[in-house]
Amino acid sequence: MTTTPPPGPDATIIESVAHNGRPCRIVDNTGTISRSELERLLADLIEARHFGLRAMSAQGDNAIKLGEPQFTHMQFGDRIYRMLLFPYEARLEAF
């Protein structure tokens, strides 16, 4: 299972509880996204049940790895961010 790296020193962190009762959080490592937008995104991720362990394998790989992050991109205002979704943390990074 992948270990989530520690947040950066200027990160904004908002914590909550996932659908299964486990603690979860969203981390904006850039420190540039408003708290209200982060809270809304975290609530949407919880509602859609995106937190928890998932078994994934890379395309063409025969191994399944638990807890591997999913990657996507998000736009806030005019800026695009990379989002990494770990089992109980969503991490936003500069793109």
When pLDDT is averaged across residues 19-26 and rounded to a whole number, the result is 95
Q: Can you give the pLDDT at residue 21?
A: 95
Within a domain: residue 3? Answer: no
More confident residue, 12 or 68: 12
**34 within some domain:** yes
Helix/strand/coil for 51: coil
Residue 73 in 3-state DSSP? strand
Q: What is the pLDDT of residues 42-73, one digit of tens each?
A: 999 999 998 887 645 455 566 656 556 778 88
- In a domain, residue 17? The reply is yes
Q: Say if CB 88 and CB 18 are below 8 A apart.
A: yes
Contact 92, 12 (CB under 8 A): no
Nearest CA to 90 out of 20, 40, 57 is that of 40
How many distinct helices (H) and strands (E) make up the chain? 1, 7
Query: How many domains does the structure of the chain reveal?
Result: 1
Which domain covers residue 38, as residue numbers?
A: 12-94
> What is the token pair recorded at 28?
């904006």
